[in-house]
Structure 1
Amino acid sequence: MNLTEYTVSSTKIKDFYIPVSDGIELYCIDFMPKKDNPSKPIIFFVAGWISHITGWKEVLYTLTDEYRVIYIETREKTSSKIPEGKTYKDFSFTIMRMVLDLHEVIQKVIPKNRTFVMSGSSLGSSIILEYLAMNTRQPECALLIGPLPEFRYPPLLGDIVPRLPASWYNVLKELVKWYLRNFRLDIEKEKEQMAKYTNTINSADPYKLKPNALALKNYNLWDKLPFITTPCYIFGAKTDKLHATDDIKRLLHNLKIAEYIECESNKETHSHVVAIHFKNIISKKLYTKIKPKK
Structure 2
Amino acid sequence: MLRITTLNLNGIRSAYRKGLADWLAAACPDVVCLQEIKIQDADLTEDMRHPAGYTGHFHPAEKKGYSGVGLYARVPADSITIGMGNAEFDAEGRVLRADWPTFTVVSAYLPSGTSGDERQAAKYRFLDLFEDWMGGLMQEHKDTGREFVLCGDWNIAHHEIDLKNWKGNRKNSGFLPEERAWLTKIFDDHGWVDVYRRLYPDATDEAYTWWSNRGQAYAKNVGWRIDYQVATPGIAAHARRAAVYKDTRFSDHAPLTVEYDWD
Report TM bin, short chain: 0.3 to 0.5
Q: What TM-score, normalized by structure 1, do the two folds share? A: 0.34
Specify which structure has the higher proportion of helix.
1
Structure with the higher strand share, 1 or 2: 2
With normalisation by structure 2, the TM-score equals 0.36
Structure (1 or 2) with the larger CA radius of gyration: 1
